[in-house]
A and B are shown apart, each in its own frame.
Chain A
C-alpha cells in the first residue's frame, strides 16, 4: 500500500493585519490577518522550509522523487525542484518535476506520486506545495491571499496514512487566472467564478471518488478542501456532498490567520487535519483548480510514532506582526525604488554560481580529515576554495560537511543602518555552529530589539538577490523559529 510517510508545513513569520489594507486604501477590511513572506522568501524557499520540516526524521538520501507544486515558480524556464533537490541534499538520481499552473497542483502531484510508487518505479516521493501569489494592490483579493507551504512524503513503508484511492476531473474553466505575462491574479465576477468552478466541480469530484471506492460520507472522519475566495463555500460543498458540518476541516480559522495560500492551501489543511487525526480515521482530501483531484486517506497506527515537527500548529503560533502595509508592498517589489547610488552589485556570475552550487544551495562546507575541524567559506576578501585546512594546513584532506540543519550561536553581530537593506537595519552575525565551524551570515526573521550575543540560531534557505534574471539563493540564519 502506498501512503503518507510524513508531513511538514511552513508559514512565514510575518503576518499583516487586514486592517492595514483598509488603513492604506480605505474601504473594507476583512477580519483577521494574512501571512506575508519575508522579502527574502518566495514559493521555492517556502517549499524548502516545509520540506525540511517534512524530512525531519527521514534520511534525505532515501527520497527518489520530488515534485514542486506551485503557481508562482521563480522561473518559467528553469526547474524549481532541481534547485530544491540541492537545498534538501537529495541524491543525484532523484526524479524532479515542477507541477504548475493549477491551484490543485499539490493534490495532482500526490496522485501522480502515488501512482509512480504503486507502479514500483519510485519508492519515496516528496510533494511540496507552495505559493506566493500576488493580487492587485487595494483589491479585496490582496487581503485574502496568504503565503505558505506544505509538504508530504509519500512512500510504501512506515506510513502514517495510506492513500486508498484517487479520482480526478479535468475542467477547462478558470475563474481565476494569470497569463504568463500577468503579475496579479485576475478574476471574473465572483459569484459566477465560484458557482461554475469550485462549487460545481468539487462536489462532482467528491461524489466520483466515493462512488469509485464505494464509500459514503459517514465513512470519513474528515473532509479537507482547499480554500476558495469565499470561505463559506467549503461548507456548502460539504453539505452538497452529503457531509456534516463537523466533518469539514476548519478552513475559516486558517483564512483568518494565514489567508488563501494558493496551491499550498489544500495541503496545509491536510497537514492540520493529520496533526489531529487518530488511527483509523478516513480523510477525504480534494482540491479544486481547472478540475479537481480527490484522494482517500486512511490514518494508520504509525501516526502516533511520527516525531515532533513544526507543522501547522507551531508555525501558526510563531509570528511577528508586520507593522505596515507599505513594507509588504516593498517586499513584493510593488513599489518603484530609486536607483541606488554607487556601484551596486557585480554582474551575477553564472559560472561562479555553478561552480559553487553545492556550497550555496546545499550549504556544504568541509571537515578536515586530519584534525577534524569543520569549516565553511563563503566570503571574506579573497575567495579560495577550501583546499588547505584553516586549522592544521593539511592540503586536500577533506570530507564534505553539511551545515544545513545544524543550529548555532551568535558570536557577534551588528544591525547596520548604513547599508541599503530591504528590512533595515540589516542584521548580520558571526555564527558558531554546534559541532564546529563558523560562518558570517545575514540574519533574517529577527526582532531588532531582541538581538544578543549568545542567541541560538538556525540556518534557513533564502533568496539573497535577483539579478540577470537569476534568483540568487543561499542560506541565512534566524533565531530558532519555534
Chain B
C-alpha cells in the first residue's frame, strides 16, 4: 500500500433503518428510510450527491436499486458485492473516490431484503459453491459450528465449558440490543436460556446464531478538509482494509480452524493504516461480525483484543461489556440486528458514528476515540474480511 486513507475522508451524515422482519416495506423503501436520515443528518439534499455506491449480495442488480429508490438522477451509481463485506465495500469505494479528488460528496448505502427470500436463515443453496454441487450439506450455522468444535477440542474445553463461554457472548449482545430501538431482537436473555435452547448445528444452539432480518444503512462522505463546513462533529476514516484469502484452509492441513487468517491480516493492515499499535488499549469500541457466537470469540483473538486461546478470560472479566474495557457490539451486533448481508457493514459504522459523537444515548460509551468494524464474508475457512477504523479526531 503506497498511501493511507487515514484522515483524508470524513463521514458527515448517516442513517440506519430499524432492522427486523420488515414485511411491510421493500428494499427501496428501506434505502429511502436510511438515506433520508443521512441526508437530514448531513444537511444535504439528494441532488447534492455526486456519486453513489450500493452494497448488497442478493437484493437487486446494478446501481439502479439505489438510483430508482432515491431518484438520484444520472450520476454514477455502482453496485458492489463482496458477500458480508458488501456494505463496507460500498463505503470503501466511496471513500477512495473522494480521496482521489474526483468527488466531494458521495453516498454509500448497504441494504438487503432477506425476508423476501422465504428462508428461515440466510438462504443457503444446497451444494452451492461449485458447479458440480458437491459441497457438503451444511447450513451457515453448520459451517461456523466447525470452528467451535475445533476450538473446544484444541483448548480442552468440555462441551459445557465451551457452550457457557459462547453463551456469555450472546447474553452480552442481547443486553446491548435491548437498549437499541433499531435492533431486531430486543429481549435480554440469560446463560441458562442459551444453554437450554435447541441445537441448530452442534455445538451451536439457537441463541448462538444471529437473527435473519431486513435492513439498510447509509453514509454520506466528503473530503476531510471540507467536513466541518457540513458538521461540527464529523467522524474521520482511519483505515479501510480488505483481506481475501486463497482457500488454503479448505485444502491445507496446516489450517487450525480456530482462527480466521483473513481477519488477522485485515486487522493488521488496518492497524498499520490507522497507526494503531496497541489495539486492545487504543480501540474504544468494536462492532464485529458475530454471525455466530463462536465467530465473535475467534475474532477477539484475531484482532488481538485477547491472546490466542484465552478469549474466555476476557469474557469472564467482562472486558467486552458495554461497561467493560473494550466494549464489543455496543449496538447489539448481528446477534440482535440480524444480518441483512449488504447492510451490516454500514450498520456497524453507524454505531461507531453515534458513539464517537456521543449520540448513543443509553448505550453511550465514555469518551471513545476510535471505533472498529469487522465483516467476514464467505464460509470458514474461506473468507473475505473487511476491517475499518474510524475516529473522532484527526491525527
Contact = CB atoms under 8 A, between A and B. Distances in A.
Nearest to B254: A391
A32 to B, nearest CB: 33
B121 to A, nearest CB: 6
B11 to A, nearest CB: 30
Contacts of A412: 146-147, 149-150, 153, 257
Interface string A406-417: 000001111111
Given A341-B119, A411-B257, A438-B253, A417 B130 contact: no
A295 B314 CA distance: 75
A157 to B, nearest CB: 39
B142 interface: yes
Interface in A357-391: 360, 373, 375-384, 390-391
The CB with the most chain A CB atoms within 10 A, among B129, B133, B198, is that of B133
Contacts of A377: 247, 250-251
A391 to B, nearest CB: 6
B39 to A, nearest CB: 35
Interface residues of B, number: 51
Interface string B107-143: 0000000000111110111111111111111110111
B199 interface: yes
Contacts of A382: 129, 247, 382
Contact of A421 (B135, B137, B246, B379): B137
B119 A342 contact: yes
Given A380-B129, A391-B252, A416-B142, A342 B118 contact: yes
A116 B120 CA distance: 59
A437 B255 CA distance: 11
Contact of B133 (A346, A414, A417, A428): A346
Contacts of A472: 132-134
Contacts of A474: 132, 134
Contacts, number: 172
Nearest to B202: A415
B191 interface: no
Interface in A9-33: none
B64 interface: no
A383 B121 contact: no
A349 B132 contact: yes
B275 interface: no
Contact of B131 (A341, A349, A375): A349
B200 interface: yes
Interface string B60-89: 000000000000000000000001000000
B138 A381 contact: no
Contacts of A345: 125-127, 133
Nearest to A448: B202
A418 B200 contact: yes
Interface of B: 83, 117-121, 123-139, 141-143, 145-147, 149-150, 153, 198-204, 246-248, 250-253, 255, 257, 378-379, 382
24 contacts: A341-B119, A342-B118, A342-B123, A343-B125, A345-B127, A349-B131, A375-B251, A381-B382, A390-B246, A390-B251, A413-B146, A413-B149, A416-B139, A416-B200, A416-B201, A417-B198, A418-B139, A420-B126, A428-B138, A440-B135, A440-B250, A465-B126, A465-B127, A472-B132
Given A348-B133, A464-B133, 14 more contacts: A344-B125, A344-B126, A349-B132, A377-B251, A379-B129, A380-B130, A411-B257, A414-B141, A414-B149, A414-B202, A415-B201, A416-B142, A453-B149, A465-B126
